[in-house]
């Protein structure tokens, strides 16, 4: 996870968060993993709490396992 911090007046605030997922799975699961990655943040309590305040992005690397 990586956050980008900016100064707002004299206060540092988190403006953006990027979460990089690396998932080791069977190649047969690739389609399901990619589909779930597309909507998982909608069901994440943290993402839902800060959406609108902090820009959230994700990336996904799938490793054959």
Kindly report the average pLDDT of the chain as a whole number: 94
Q: For every residue of 1-59, which 3-state class applies, written as one string?
A: CEEEEEEECCEEEEEEEEEEEEEEECHHHHHHHHHHHHHHHHHCHHHHHHCCCCEEEEE
Please report the pLDDT score of residue 61 as a whole number: 97
Please report the pLDDT score of residue 28 as a whole number: 95
Taking the domains of the chain in order of start, what are their residue ranges? Answer: 2-64
pLDDT tens-place string over residues 47-58: 999 999 999 999
């Amino acid at each position: 996870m990586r956050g980008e911090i900016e100064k707002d007046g004299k206060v540092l605030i988190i403006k953006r968060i990027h979460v990089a997922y690396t998932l080791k799975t069977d190649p047969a699961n690739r389609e399901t993993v990619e589909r779930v990655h597309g909507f998982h943040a909608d069901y994440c309590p943290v993402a839902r709490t800060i959406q609108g305040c902090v820009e959230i992005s994700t990336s996904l690397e799938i490793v054959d396992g």
